[in-house]
Structure 1
Amino acid sequence: MERNSDNALRTQPSDRIKLNVGGKLFETTVSTLRSGGPDSLLAALSNRPRQDLLSDPVFIDRDPEIFSVLLSLLRSNRLPSTSRRFTKQELADEASYYGIESQLKSAMLPSRLSGIDASVVATVRPASDGVVSAFAADDGSGSLWMAHGGQISAYDSNLTHAGTIRTHLDQITSIHRVRPEIAAVGSDTTSGLHFYSLSNGRHVGFADWTDPSDPRIYKARVTAIADSPDSVFSAFDCYHRENCVLVIDKSSLKISSEFARQSGNSSKTMVAGKLTYLPDSGVLVGSAVTSGAFGYSGYVRLWDPRSGTVVWETNEPGSGRSSRFGDSFADVDVDTDESTLFKVCSKSGDLAMADLRKLGEDPWVYLVDKNPSMRNTGGGSDSVIHCYRKQVFVGRDGGLEVWSRVQEREGNVERENKFHEGSYKRNYVDKVVDSERGVITKIEGGGDRLFVCREDSEGIEVWESSSFSGAVSIS
């Protein structure tokens, strides 16, 4: 027993190493340093002769306080609370020096997005032309592209500014990510759909709706953009109200076809303001909403892009496809994960849903909030809606709420694809002080973040869920 103990004492110190960072002495283990990866500077330092690891500390002329944070990260795979004293850029610069950027990026990613536990963690503001005119978030990484004036600023997965390019447009009102570095942009003051590379700022493509046989088709402006794995879809609108959807080949960035053309002679002609592609069915969903002295009106149409035919449509008011005639929707969005369509009613403010796999004459199910502690939300005019991660986020003026799916069981068998008025429950995401910051104009999800833009406000709010909350997400 004594011989084994002696051997343990002799071998234990060999795994230890001392480092002198900026005049402060740190003692850790070789295995901790090597957890940064074989190509990191710290792993290289751990390969010194074992007799030197403790007796001759390596001097590193860097900030010792930030090194303490990074050392804690290597030990636990989490950032300590002391990391809040430093900016993301400061941490990123030091992690880059030591060669452990991937570990830092992983630790800085937010927790799984749960609407009932989300709060504002930051506001991303561009350096100039601070009022955001359009933005697009990446679903996978949570990175952000922000249009402000005629410029586009890119922010990486840690929301660190990655660069800004200037376009030839005075104002960008539509932006969509069609490739990792290619943005499709449009403006309501300039014709055509333009493609820009964010890596070098070059204009790499252009698509314009023209028809030599019809003189009314000129200076067509972009109102909405979506994409599939192979194509880009863009809604175009002319001054005489003629409109259509163009299909652009993703590889060549050239127009391949046109469909959904509407003549400006019709009193009900409206260009689509939203486009969403459904990958499971290959269908494109378009919606349009307008408001005036007589209230709201609009349509939802489902097209087969290959044939250009309408698969299903509804118009409010006037189509008979809603039991609530006169309470037209103020906004519409699609949950591609659940294959469901949601609308928020303009008068009552009620939320309704429809199963896209079972569309009929009146497919709407109006959700009922059974929580007695929730205050009445009132009307739904000026409301915006966004579906993300099987949650439905609704902005009403300045307030933000979330509707989460309730999992139900019948005889120990989970109910699937059976939606009814109690399928979702509502909670408030924000606090009263949050709702006083201004009217919400757009909501979009990316990664495990929610991005919120407000009217005439500079920058975009970033909402994340806390990993320390006791709230349980309903999914």
Structure 2
Amino acid sequence: MVTPKDRVELNVGGRIFETTAATLGIAGEKSFFRAMFDENWNLHSDSAITEHFIDRDPDYFAVLLSLLRTGELYIPPKIDKRLLYREAEYYGILDQVRSAKWGSFDGNRVRLAESISDWSSEARSAKIVQASPSGGCCVAHGGVVRVYDWMLEEHPIIHTEHHNVNDVCWVDSESIVVSSDEKIASGGLGLFNASTGESKYKFQVTDELKGYKAGALSVSSNDKLFASCTDSTTRKHVIGVWDQVTGTLMNFFSCPPHPPHNAARLQWLHDINCVMVVSSSPGDEICLFDLRQNDMVWSWDVKAGEKQYCCGIIDAIAIEKSSSICVLAEQKGMGFVDLRRTDASLNWRNDLMGTDWSYRDDLVHIDEYLYVKLAFHEGQLFSSWGNRIFVYGGSDWLPTSQFERSRGGPIRDYSIDGDRLFALQDNENIVDVWETPRPPII
């Protein structure tokens, strides 16, 4: 039962709204309304009804107050949704707006929500898309990175001084790491502000890495950045480890006796404190580096003993919860390297050496070379092929669904984060945005 003390009167732009402390409390600790209450979310005033004046547009506030009351977002035709989102940002309730627009990402229930296609048609074809933790994305083509927030509004462009972008990686919702064809010592690896496009700093190198260029990137949960680095003159290849906060080089690893060639993917494995390095043809090798031992603890060469199963690695991704690595191979399709431990007391080096390859011919079969990529998100495995994205689930990773755009070319790249999937088309400068509809509130 609502008592008079719970009631709050808000004068927004001259229009009176009456609500409750409990409703405003839904806005959360970081909201505009937090200042009205004490640490226990009780009103500061002891009066029966407390009035607060807010100098904002009342029509937009009415929509947001309805969201706090019902959990549903209804935007009347007269309301500009972009302006509404800015008002939500002012009140500190963007998270509530986002969660009302779409639900947790589920590959079995996705729908095509919007497309991004507003960059110049004269620009070189885009090749990389990376989803951000906040529901936006960035797109790399040529020597620029275009950044979009969760409202799909473009921010200032990130420029790499005419050097082709090799990879991009979100550190958090406000920071992007970019690697380019420029040597690291000259600024070919830098951290940029996602909102302004300005350079925060360039990652430092020692004399040993001055001739190297950075390629594939990955970040860890403990503020480390990993970059695949290659010397174009000597063809030497190492994995550099930097501190994300300071940009200081912490370490670098080579991969004797068979170093990977221009690693196609790096992935941080939190549970075992290792970084996985995947090299495609001609290397066709997967390595694990243990940062505690400062050494490579395991490697798997697809060509050494598995020639009867595949011709080369196209992509691979580790699935830590099932202790396995999913591999896509040319002409054969998808297989799994089993990393399950038989004895918890064994160290990872001895245990991982007993891994095995199992070929799954009931999954996607790769008949020709296309842009094929694996992804893993919230218990679901994804693979792209042509203009389709396949979804797998369950303990046996059986196919559960697939989705595709009604019209459009092959998918060049795709990325999942912030409860959205962004798919970059190869034939056109278009990024499709896939979302999962929010379940109805009963």
Which TM-score band (shorter chain)?
A: 0.7 to 0.9
The equivalent position to 1:332 in structure 2, one of 316, 326, 341, is: 316
**Contact residue 373 and residue 383 of structure 2 kept, 8 A:** yes
State the shift of 1:400 in Å: 0.8
Shift, 1:269, TM fit: 5.7
Partner residue in 1 for 2:128:
134
* Alignment check: 8 A CA contact 1:451 1:463 kept: yes
**Which segment is superposed worse, 152-161 or 273-282?**
152-161
The change in CA–CA distance for 1:391 and 1:306 in structure 2 (over 3 A counts) is: same
Q: Contact between 1:88 and 1:158, CA under 8 Å: does it hold in 2?
A: no
> What pairs with 1:230-309 in structure 2 (closer than 5 Å)?
230-240=223-233, 241-261=235-255, 270-290=261-281, 298-309=284-295
Aligned to 2:402: 429
> Contact (CA 8 Å) 1:117, 1:466: kept in 2 or not?
yes
**1:451 equivalent in alignment to 2:437:** no
Q: In the superposition, relative to structure 1, how do residues 43 and 30 fare at CA in structure 2: closer, same or farther (>3 Å)?
A: farther
Per-residue CA deviation, residues 44-95 of structure 1 (Å, 9 max, x unaligned), is 9xx9x98999xxxx9988474x455334213202212x46885542211333
- Runs of 5+ in structure 2 lacking a partner? 38-44, 342-351
Distance 1:16 1:91 in 2: 23
CA offset digits 1:412-432 (Å, max 9, x no partner): xxxxxxxxxxx1221333146
Q: Which amino acid aligns with 2:192?
A: S
Partner-residue secondary structure (3-state), 2:104: coil
Asked if the contact 1:386–1:444 (Cα under 8 Å) also holds between the matched residues in 2, the reply is yes
Deviation at 1:444, TM superposition (A): 2.0
TM-score by length of 1: 0.71
For residues 375-404 of structure 1, give each alpha carbon's deviation from its aligned partner in whole angstroms, at most 9, with x where no partner exists. Answer: x75536322111222211100121111111
Counterparts in 2 of 1:380 and 1:340: CA distance versus 1, 3 Å:
farther
Aligned residue for 1:430, secondary structure, equals: strand
Q: The residue matched to 2:67 in structure 1 has which SS?
A: helix
Whether 1:364 and 2:364 are equivalent positions in the alignment is no
1:116 — aligned with what? 108
> Contact 1:113–1:449 at 8 Å: present in 2 too?
yes
Stretch of structure 1 that moved more, 126-135 or 442-451: 126-135
Instruction: Classify 1:86/1:191 alpha carbon distance in 2 versus 1 (closer, same or farther; 3 Å).
Output: farther
Counterpart for residue 144 of structure 1: 137
1:295-317 deviations in Å (ceiling 9; x for gaps): xx611111223444322222222
Cα-to-partner distance string for 1:17-63 (whole Å, 9 max, x where unaligned): 798989xx98764568745678449989xx9x98999xxxx998847
Identity of aligned residues (%): 19
Q: How far, CA to CA, are the matches of 1:202 and 1:27 in structure 2?
A: 44
The aligned counterpart of 1:410 is none
- Structure 2 counterpart of 1:206, from 178, 203, 207: 203
Shift of 1:271: 2.2
Q: Please give the secondary structure, in 1, of the residue aligned with 2:201.
A: strand
2:336 aligned partner? 353
Q: Report the Cα offset of residue 161 of structure 1.
A: 4.1
Conserved? CA contact 1:225–1:275, under 8 Å = yes
The CA deviation at 1:342 is 0.5
Letter in 1 for 2:84: L
Q: 1:402 aligns with which of 388, 391, 405?
A: 391
Count residues in correspondence: 412
Distance 1:194 1:431 in 2: 35
* 8 Å contact kept, 1:186–1:222: yes
CA distance in 2, matches of 1:303, 1:52: 60
Q: Which runs of 5+ in 1 are unaligned?
A: 1-7, 212-216, 292-296, 371-375, 407-422, 470-475
Amino acid of the residue matched to residue 397 of structure 1? G
1:116/1:41 CA distance change after superposition, 3 Å: closer
Which residue matches 1:4? none
Change (3 A) 1:378 1:185: closer
Cα offset for 1:446? Answer: 0.8
Counterparts of 2:191 and 2:332, CA distance in 1: 42
Change (3 A) 1:186 1:18: closer
Could you say what secondary structure the match of 1:246 adopts?
strand
Cα 1:39/1:356, change in 2 over 3 Å: same
- Structure 2 residue matching 1:453: 3-state secondary structure: strand
Q: Partner letter of residue 298 of structure 2? A: W
Matched residue, 2:72: 78
Q: Once the 2 structures are TM-superposed, how far is the Cα of residue 281 of structure 1 from its aligned partner? A: 0.9
Q: Which has the larger radius of gyration?
A: 1
The separation in 2 between residues aligned to 1:52 and 1:219, in whole angstroms, is 66
Give the Cα–Cα distance (whole angstroms) in 1 for the partners of residues 423 and 326 of structure 2.
19
**CA separation of 1:286 and 1:393: change in aligned 2, threshold 3 A:** same
Specify which of 189, 192, 196 is matched with residue 197 of structure 1.
192
The answer on whether the counterparts of 1:126 and 1:148 sit within 8 Å (CA) in structure 2 is: no
- Which SS does the other structure have where 1:252 is aligned? coil
